Structure formats: C-alpha cells, structure tokens
Amino acid sequence: MLQVSYIRENRERVLERLAFKNFKQLDLVDKIISLDEERRQTQSTLDSVAAQANTASKQIGDLMRQGQKEQAEAVKQQTAGFKGQVSELGEKLAAIEAEQFNLLVLLPNLPHASVPAGTTAEDNVSAYEHGEKPQLPATAIPHWELAAKYDIIDFELGNKITGAGFPVYKGKGAKLQRALINFFLDEADKAGYREMMPPIVINEASGFGTGQLPDKEGQMYYINEDKLYLIPTAEVPITNLYRDVILKEEELPVKNCAYTPCFRREAGSYGAHVRGLNRLHQFDKVEIVQVVHPERSYEVLGEMSLYVQSLLQKLALPYRVLHLCGGDMSFGSALTFDMEVWCAAQARWLEVSSVSNFETFQSNRLKLRYRGKEGKPQLAHTLNGSALALPRIVASLLENNQTPEGIRIPAALVPYTRFEWIS
C-alpha cells in the first residue's frame, strides 16, 4: 500500500508511474489527497477542542479546591459542549480515514524507474538467454502424451476425482515431484534460506497483508464457512509471519523458504496453451522470501534472480530472463524478472518463476518494520520468488529429455530420484 504522505508530496510522479503501470483510475489520487486534507483539518480541530476540554477539566478541579462551586458548575456546562464536539469530530475523522483507506488499497505499487514501457506480455523485454535449445526428432511428442505413454501423470483420473487442472502423479511421476521438491529445498538451504512449513490456508488479514486482497478474490479458492482462503503461493503465509513485527536492523536480511501446494482458480483460462501441466489449479512450488534493508533490496533482487537461474542451469534447462513491462507486472510489484524455460516439443517458452521486489508496498500493509540505529521504526522491503514452480519444470524436463529409450533424468536429480530413466 502506498503511503499517503508520499502521494501528497509527489502527486505528479505518482500519477505518471501509475499510468506507466497501465492503471486507469488515476482520479483516485486526487480523491485521496483531498480526503487527506480534510482528515488533517478535522484532526487539527479535534486536537484543539480536546485541548480546550482538558484545560476546562483542570480549571474545574482548581475551582472546586478553591471552594468556587458556582464558577466550577458554569465551566462544567461548557465542558459538556466540548465533549459533544470531540465525539462528533471523532466520528467524522473515523469516517474520513475509512474512506481514504478504501481508496488507498485500490492503488497498485509504483513501478521502478528501470521498468520498460508496455501494456501486455508482448512488451516484456528479454534480458538474457542461456543454454542450447534441444533439437528433437520429428517423432517427439508433448509432455501430456509422454505422461500417458509412461503412465506417470493421469489427467483424466484427476478430472474424475476433482476436476480439470488437478492431475494425479503416479509411480516415477510422483517420485520426480518429490525429488524436485527436495532438490529445491536443499539448494535453498545451501543458499542460506531457513525452511518453514506454514499453513496452506490463510485469513483475510493475511491476504490483505501481501496484496492478494482486495485485488485477487476471484482467483483464490474460498472456504466460506470459515472465511479462509487456500494459498495461491507460499509467499503469503511466509511474509505474514512478520505482520505487526518490528525487527532489529541487525536481524536483516531475513531469508525464508517453504514448500507448499498452491491453489489458483485461474478463472477464464482456456485453450491449447493451458493443456497438460501448462496451467493447473493445484501445483507444488518452493518459494523464497526475503525481508531486507531498503538500501539493499535491488542488490538482493539481482542475487535472487541469479539464484533461480542457477537452479535452471543445474537442471540443464534452456531458459531466458524477462524484464516485465509496466502493464504486465503484478499489483504489488515494483520490479519483476520472469524466468521462462524452453519446452522443446511444444516449441514455446513457459514461465517457471517470477522474482519481485515489492519495496515497502507489502510492509506498509503488514506494518512490518525494522528499528534502525536512530531508534525510529522504518518500513522494511520485501521480496519473493519461485524457486521453483514444479508443473512447467516437469513439462520441460519430460519434453526436452525424451529419447527413443525413454526420458533421461538430469544428473543433478538422480541422487533424489534414485533412477536415471523413465521408460
């Protein structure tokens, strides 16, 4: 959530950066500034009346001690009027603050100065490409056919049990899932991330804290009776561990990781591009999250991007790094890099990770602060990234490594799978 003081003092820049992010409701900015002026005036009046009421109360005590009861009663009647004004002004102030808050939460984060211009994914900038695209024979088949051929993923059985987008992993397919999860967690541990095992359902306060609410209600599964949501990513519960927390500056950076299943309704997603593992309603993912000092957050973003790339290199997957344009960024992000792997049989790039810096956008909602040397609490910066999401990693591993003898497992995974081939 943007800070009102920043909006008020930097109106033109806020309008320019929101437009850069393809945000259409720019009139909200002036409404928020107008409400803030009304809020400050009301607060000033309230403080003045409250001060008069306090002065009068002290005067009543002094007069009573001096035996001047009649004068004390006269002041007491005057004080009753002050109390009525205080109550009325307090209610007015609360109403203004509520209206201002409801508008503030509609504003997305401002994009960083380095974010490229653009409105859709077609405008994203390819920043780096690594690895050779495998040359497959004409007989190569996509992963959903490979899954059926080797009986390792059953999409129809998942559809029977739950519905489309909930596959059943079988035999070596299930073992490959488990191997990838353990591999990603072990690599995160080596990189200094502390493993956590959070709940996979969250309350409304947690959804608000990381920016899923009120922006993405329709994309999350909701448990109506308990007013809880299934998590779309481990970012949400992990970052919320620090809601209403003041860290010591020397505790930064905080580095956590977690494996969780993730749930996304993906409403409106249809077509051949979402076939097989390309887009699911339930999938497994290892997430990395950092809470850092504001002065280091962009340095840390670069480190996190390189870390995710190192995982793809160890899996011998060709990949590219995209610098997301303003219009394709998430609601809360200030700067995002996407990593996409090449899926050879489909001959297309598939996103497997987003690494983002949220600056103070989430921490302001979370009231996540650190206490610096000067002793005053400051908002920390939060970052997160997929490291990694499994479905499209599995899709690319199956497609890129298919041979007439079967599917070859990358060397880095063999200690985890304990087999070298799916055949």
pLDDT in tens, 252-267: 999 999 999 999 998 6
How far apart, in whole angstroms, are the C-alpha atoms of residue 397 and residue 345?
Answer: 11
pLDDT at 414: 98
pLDDT at 49: 87
Under DSSP, is residue 278 helix (H, G, I), strand (E, B) or coil? coil
Q: What is the mean pLDDT of the chain?
A: 93
DSSP strand pairing (335-343 vs 153-154): unpaired
Annotated binding site for L-serine: 233, 264, 287, 384
pLDDT at 372: 85
pLDDT at 262: 98
Catalogue the E-assigned strands of 209-279: 222-223, 228-230, 246-248, 254-263
Token couple for 73: 């009663």
Give which of 108, 126, 121 is closest to 325, Cα–Cα: 121
Predicted confidence band at 269 (pLDDT cuts at 50, 70, 90)? low
Beta-bridged to residue 340, according to DSSP, are 320, 351
* Per-residue pLDDT reduced to its tens digit, 51-110: 887 776 676 666 666 776 666 566 666 676 777 888 899 999 999 999 999 999 999 999
Other CB atoms within 10 Å distance of the CB of residue 13:
12
| Average pLDDT estimate for 284-309 | 98
CA 30 to each of CA 10, 40, 100, 154, 346: distance values in angstroms, whole numbers, following the listed order:
12, 15, 11, 53, 48
| pLDDT of 270 strictly over 60 | no
Annotated binding site for ATP: 264-266, 351-354
Side-chain half-sphere exposure of 272, counting CA atoms within 13 A: 3
* Per-residue pLDDT reduced to its tens digit, 215-265: 776 889 999 999 999 999 999 999 999 999 999 999 999 999 999 999 999
| Average pLDDT estimate for 162-181 | 97
Which domains, ranges and CATH numbers included, belong to the chain?
Answer: 4-104 (1.10.287.40), 121-422 (3.30.930.10)
Answer whether the bond into residue 391 is a cis peptide, omega within 30°: no
| Average pLDDT estimate for 156-170 | 96
pLDDT at 50: 84
Largest CA distance in the chain: 107
pLDDT at 75: 60
User: Does the CA dihedral 45-48-33-96 come out positive or negative?
Assistant: negative
Q: Alpha helix (H) ranges present in 152-291?
A: 155-161, 172-190, 204-209, 235-240
Predicted confidence band at 20 (pLDDT cuts at 50, 70, 90)? very high
Annotated binding site: 233, 264-266, 287, 351-354, 384
Q: Exposed (0-12), middle (13-18) or buried (19+): which is 299, by Cβ within 10 Å?
A: exposed
* Per-residue pLDDT reduced to its tens digit, 118-153: 999 999 999 999 999 999 998 999 999 999 999 999
Give 194's contacts (C-beta < 8 A, 6+ positions apart): 255, 256, 257
Q: Check: CB of residue 333 under 8 Å from CB of residue 137.
A: no
Q: Model's pTM, two decimal places? A: 0.92
* Per-residue pLDDT reduced to its tens digit, 355-386: 999 999 999 999 999 998 778 999 999 999 99
Predicted confidence band at 423 (pLDDT cuts at 50, 70, 90)? very high
Under DSSP, is residue 132 helix (H, G, I), strand (E, B) or coil? coil
> What percent of the chain has pLDDT above 90?
85
Q: Check: CB of residue 264 under 8 Å from CB of residue 281.
A: yes
Q: Check: CB of residue 30 under 8 Å from CB of residue 12.
A: no
User: Which amino acid makes up residue 22?
Assistant: N
